[in-house]
Each structure stands twice: as C-alpha cells, then as structure tokens.
Amino acid sequence: MSRGRLSVTMESLTEFFSIEVEEGQQWLALRLHFEVEQSWARAYLWDAEHSLRFCFLDGGNERLIIVHEQPESTSPIAIPGSIMPGTWRLELSANPGKQVEAEWDTGSGPLPEPYQSEQLQGDREYWSSGGEHAGFVLDRYDWKKVWQEGSRWYKGDFHTHTVLSDGKMTQRMNREQAVKQGLDFFTATDHNVLSTSWPIGDVLVIPGVEITAGDGHWNALGLRQWMDWRSSAGDGGLTTQQGMDRLMKEAAEQGAVCSINHPMLAPWAWQYGETSLSAVHSIEIWNDPTYSPNPVAAEKALELWSVCWNAGHKLTGIGGSDSHMLPTERYEDCDMPSLIGDPATYVWCEHLSAESVLEGVRRGHVYVSRGPVLEAAIRAGRDEYRFGSDMSAAFAGKDAAEDNRMIYCTLRITSEANVQVALVHNGRIDSSQAAVSAQEEGQPIILEWAIPWESEGYHWYRFDIRDEAGQLLAFTNPVYHGSKQPQPMTWSELITRADLSEI
C-alpha cells in the first residue's frame, strides 16, 4: 500500500497535482479537506490513460472517494475499472487563497476499515461497466427496461439532490422517500455530479445532472455520459455562454432533455441571456412550493411560458421539488416539510421506462400538481387528445360545417381541496369555473368545456387549477392547433418580450 498527501493554498481557480500509482494496485482511496463545511470546491481525477475516474463537488457531505477495480467497492460518483500504474492527475478547483488538503492510499486486497463507506452498503444497480478506455459513460444503464406496464399517467419528480452534492438524504433515503410519496420515478440531478450507481429499489431512477453555475442552473435529464462542464475547459464550460451552449448541444445529442431550472427565482434565475430557446426542451415552471419566494417565481414562470408558446416555442412545462432536506425538516417560514415529489410531475407513458418518460416530456404529455389528480378527455372531431397534443388534423378534410366544429374537454379532478379551474387560451384566461366543493370518498369533480374551433391562426389551451385563495395547485401543458413558425429568440429577448426584466 502506498500513501500520499498534499496541502495547498490555491493560487488560481484550478490547479493540477500528480499521484503516482504502482503496479498491482486494485483500489485508490482519496479524502479531501476544505476550510469550510460547504466550500463548493470541485475535484476531478484522471487516470494514467487520461480517462476521468471521478467528478466531485463539495456540498458539505462525504469527502471520501473510492476508485476500485470492482463496481461494488467504487463510490457512486466514480468509474470502476483497472487501477493502472503510472501518473494519475488530480484536478482541484477552488477560490484562490483557499486551503485544500488531500490524502490518498492505493492498495490491493480488501479495503481497510477507514475506507468502508455507508454509501456502498446493500445491493445496488451499477450504471457503468468501467470498460477500459470507455470513459465516464453509463453503458450499463438500461434505458428501455420496463418498470411498470400499462398506458397511464406516471407520477415523478425531475429535480432531486442527495449527499453526493449538497442534499441531506442518501441515495437510499431518496428512493425510500419516493416510495412514501407515491412516486413512480424521479431523476437524480445532483449539482455537477453524475451518479454511476444507485441502491436497488422499486422506483425508477433516471440519471441526470443539474449543471450549476453562478448565472443559472439547468437539468440534463437522461444524461448518458459525462460532459466537460469544468471551468478549465477550453470554452470555460459552465462559466461562459459559449460553454453552456456547447453543453446543451452535447446533452441533446446524447438524448437528454435540457430543462432550465427555477428561471425566475432570484438569485438563481437564468442569466445566460444569449441562450437560444431552440436549445431548450423544457422549463421548470414550479420549484419547491414550500420555499417562500417560489410561489411568486412560479407565477412569473407561467407568464414567461405563455410568451414562449405565443411565439411558437412549444417548450414543455415541468415541476421539480429541488429536494435537499430530510423529510422531518422545513423552512422556518413554512409549516410544511420540503419533500421529494412536491410538486409532482405526471407524464403520460405507454409503460414506465426511462426512455418513455423522457419521450413523454419531449411530447409535452405532462401536467404538474401539488395534490389534485387529473384525468382529461379532450376531443376534436372524431379524435381524442391528451395534454401536449397537436390537434391541427382534427378537422382536416372534413366536410362538417365550420360552426359545428368544437373542442370538447372533460376534466376529472380528484382533490382534497376546493378548486377553481381557469382555461387559458393563448396566454389569457378564456373562462373560469368557480370554486367547486371537493368530493367525498375520492369521487372526482367533473368539469366540461365546449370550445369553438377557430380555423384561422394558431391557438393553444391549458388549464390552471387553484385553491379558493388563488394559490396554484396544478397546471397542464397546452393542447394546440394551427402552426406558428418560431422565430429565433434568445432568453434575453424572451424576458424582454414578457416584460419580466425585474426578477
């Protein structure tokens, strides 16, 4: 077993250090130390073949990382595989002037007791094989695996955190709490960390990352391999507009959904003004409702989203709990805990798999709710549609009289709270059905609309559901008909058009 240590005061934002690995080693254990509990420092380890073996962000939790030949002993932010001899490279990023310490051991045989991590206890599913020269790739994750059969609305959460970044729950706790919340799936979106394994459980976990920078956060939902988001990347990575544009392009090419998080929530609102809307698939309209600034931020995001749709940019609206806390904790000014699955995002899928959930988001077959459960029957002509659908072909080639063309909507709402439902047409409330008493014994409230078909132009319709005090309880993605060719538009132009410059 060989051992090394370094203690350095950072002279620049990023510095590199060598780790010499001898022949015959089976594992490398590295422990980091920082001046403060939550430094947000970053670390990356490159092996002698120049392959990335872990990426780390200091959110104030476990600072021990194990790289091992076997997946069972490898940290869930690291890649298993050969511990080849030669010079490995440790990359540290922290603010200049900060003190950083690192100590490491390499060895063969069983891991010594100090390196036994609670993160690795129990049965796990392993997402990366660690094949030689494969890189930081989730090549063992089964995107097509069917977790549940049947076409229906599946309940999930697209924004979660664990102790692998700055959350308080372990991976196992996240999965267990998701079961308690009745979720079918959630996406793992730790800050600038891509998980490579997860404890086995009954809820589908979809790989992802929250790409996190000072000027905004976005989720890469369904990311299949690490992207170079480092500030030391040639284009500045997540610290520059050019770098963010590249990262969104690369994520989309992998098949990931690019979703801007809490876009109107200061100080984490999206500030990369030259981001093209064509690079974005979805917007997180509703973030953790128990955080007191979020209700206002969600209303602004709804306004912004309406402007997107009016301009022909049909981005999908989703929600995310952004869960960081233990289920027993809450914000000081809120009497409800901050929980995974609040709000929940429901996605219509033919069956439950990672692939089908991501495709459902791309198609806009989504609604978001803090409680009300929705079922909708939307009919135009002889065809039926669901949220997110294009109805343009409903009357194509039909000889029915123009004045008989209607869109019929029946909304069934199961809710413990009294509700009022607004039909939003092209960004304006077209009609609103007053508060309705919640039904007993789980019986749904049934509301109906007959909407005249407008043959000219481009039209979209969504439902906003609120309680009697006007607080948001749920919203749907729009159905639409007609076409509007979206013009190139940047985020700054969208903010200006929405008259939301003051966040």
- What local confidence, expressed as pLDDT, does residue 130 receive? 86
Identify the residue with better confidence: 250 or 122.
250
Q: Would 501 be classed as within a structural domain?
A: no
pLDDT tens profile 161-187: 999 999 999 999 999 999 999 999 999
> In this structure, are 45 and 194 located in the same domain?
no
In Å, how far from its chain's centre is CA 403? 44
Ranges of beta strands (E only) in 257-332 are 257-260, 282-287, 316-320
pLDDT tens profile 378-424: 999 999 999 999 999 999 876 555 657 999 999 999 998 889 999 99
Q: Residue 472 above 80 pLDDT?
A: yes
| Mean pLDDT lowest among 16-20, 132-136, 494-498 | 132-136
> In this structure, are 363 and 467 located in the same domain?
no
| Mean pLDDT lowest among 94-98, 111-115, 422-426 | 111-115
Full residue range of the structural domain in which residue 242 is found: 151-370
Report how far residue 368's alpha carbon sits from residue 302's, in angstroms, rounded to the nearest whole number.
Answer: 12
DSSP, residue by residue, 376-438: EEEEETTEEE-TT-B-TTTTTT--S-GGG-EEEEEEEEE-SS-EEEEEEETTEEEEEEEEEPP
- What local confidence, expressed as pLDDT, does residue 442 receive? 72
> Could you say which of 345, 370, 395 is where a domain stops?
370
Q: Residue 503 above 90 pLDDT?
A: no
Q: What is the CATH number of the domain that holds 89?
A: 2.60.120.380
- Extract the tokens encoding 482: 């007609």
- What local confidence, expressed as pLDDT, does residue 401 receive? 59
Asked if 163 and 184 touch (Cβ cutoff 8 Å), the reply is no
Angle, CA 282 vertex, CA 287 and CA 190 arms, to 5°: 55
Asked if 371 and 445 touch (Cβ cutoff 8 Å), the reply is no
Q: What is the CATH number of the domain that holds 270?
A: 3.20.20.140
Domain total for the chain? 3
As a whole-number percent, the residues of the chain with pLDDT over 90 amount to 88
Report how far residue 310's alpha carbon sits from residue 427's, in angstroms, rounded to the nearest whole number.
Answer: 7
> In this structure, are 78 and 184 located in the same domain?
no
Q: Residue 441 above 70 pLDDT?
A: no
> In this structure, are 112 and 174 located in the same domain?
no
pLDDT tens profile 291-334: 999 999 999 999 999 999 999 999 999 999 999 999 999 999 99
- Give the DSSP H/E element, type plus range, for residue 495: helix 491-497
> In this structure, are 351 and 378 located in the same domain?
no
Place of tokens 């999908």: 316
- What local confidence, expressed as pLDDT, does residue 133 receive? 62
Q: Would 144 be classed as within a structural domain?
A: no
As a whole-number percent, the residues of the chain with pLDDT over 70 amount to 96
Q: Residue 262 above 80 pLDDT?
A: yes
> In this structure, are 309 and 387 located in the same domain?
no
- What local confidence, expressed as pLDDT, does residue 433 receive? 77
Q: What is the mean pLDDT of the chain?
A: 94
Question: Backbone phi, then psi, for 230, in 5-degree steps?
Answer: -60, 150
> In this structure, are 291 and 203 located in the same domain?
yes
